[in-house]
Structure 1
Amino acid sequence: MKLIFTLMFTFFSLFQSDLESLRNSYSKANSSNENAKNFIALAEKKSSNDPVISAYKSASKILEAKVTTEKNKRKTFVKSGATTLESLIASNPNNAELRVIRMSVQENIPKIVGYHKNLKEDKTFLINNYSKQNADLKSYIKQFAGQSKTMTASEKASFK
């Protein structure tokens, strides 16, 4: 019995550290090309069926369009990442972290790309479902909301 608990704890710890490292790297990715490249490299190393990790991998594809030197590949990166991210959210509509990822992508992608239609929907979802999240995700959402371009000051203050 102790062996089973030890194995489960070890697996959970490894998963958490993967997720935590992705979160930390993603939160810094938009601040510089070097940070973006570091996040992309980290995300590419991850292999999991978990929708959250897959969403970070999708975000890394979209971010790759920003740092690539091959202009003809930018559209392909954005389309591939956005399609996968939308599919993940359609399959997991109540996952708050997926909504944070999509909202952050849509806030930071140039408007001319046309991938910004879910900002209000995601903002409303996060505000309405914030209290239902675990402590780590609440902290992450609060951090994201604090720097969000879409949320008003009163909306930011609602994340306690």
Structure 2
Amino acid sequence: MKLLLSLFTGLFLFFQASDLEVLRNSYSKANLSTEGAKNFIETASKKLSSDPVITGYKAAAEILEAKITTEKNKRKTHIKTGATALENAIKANPNTVELRIIRLSVQENIPKIVGYSKNLKEDKAFILNNYGKQNAALKSYIRKFAMQSKTMTAAEKNALK
């Protein structure tokens, strides 16, 4: 019985990790083109999980929906809904580095007029301070994000080796 439970748990964690990798890869391409954004939104919408990081990616997808929607009156709703969901996920899991990366990337790329950019310095500091504690896959993801980040300085990017 314990073996069966262990096997089931292992498979669940394996597939959850692969879901996370798929979301990470899709998210990293989301801002490059409208097609990339649509692909990420579709990928995120298919993920059913209570994992806070997946919830964060789904919130980012909701915010990104505002960028590609043709209905101007829906843009504000998408941003508000996504930002609220992302803030709630971070509030419930304040020590999760990947949620901070998601929020930092959203706030870097959203137009300043929207007013959702108050956590840039806080999130950058949190990511840099907790980088060494992360697993290899997340460290690699953080480095890739930092290299294209508008908020990270050259010295900070070099520190992430």
Asked if TM exceeds 0.5, the reply is yes
1:65-80 → structure 2 map (5 Å cutoff): 65-80=66-81
> In the TM superposition, what whole-angstrom CA distance separates every residue of 1:31-82 from its partner, at most 9, and x where no partner exists?
0000100100110111111100000000000000000010100000000000
**Whole-angstrom CA distance in 2 between matches of 1:3 and 1:51:** 26
Any stretches of 5+ residues in structure 2 without a counterpart? Answer: none
**Whole-angstrom CA distance in 1 between matches of 2:129 and 2:20:** 24
Identity percentage of aligned residues: 66
Give the superposition deviation at 1:2: 3.6
Which stretch of the first structure deviates more once superposed, 1-10 or 37-46? 1-10
Could you state the TM-score of these two structures normalised by the residue count of structure 1? 0.97
Could you state the TM-score of these two structures normalised by the residue count of structure 2? 0.97
Give the superposition deviation at 1:10: 1.1
Give the superposition deviation at 1:12: 1.1
**Whole-angstrom CA distance in 2 between matches of 1:87 and 1:12:** 24
For 2:113, the equivalent position in structure 1 comes to: 112
1:1-160 → structure 2 map (5 Å cutoff): 1-160=2-161
Give the superposition deviation at 1:13: 1.1
Give the superposition deviation at 1:152: 0.4
**Whole-angstrom CA distance in 1 between matches of 2:106 and 2:33:** 15
Question: RMSD across aligned C-alpha pairs, in angstroms?
Answer: 0.8
What residue identity is the alignment partner of 1:37? K
Off by >2 Å, runs of 4+ in structure 1: 1-6
Any stretches of 5+ residues in structure 1 without a counterpart? Answer: none
> In the TM superposition, what whole-angstrom CA distance separates every residue of 1:106-139 from its partner, at most 9, and x where no partner exists?
0000111110110000000011110011111111
**Whole-angstrom CA distance in 1 between matches of 2:87 and 2:47:** 20
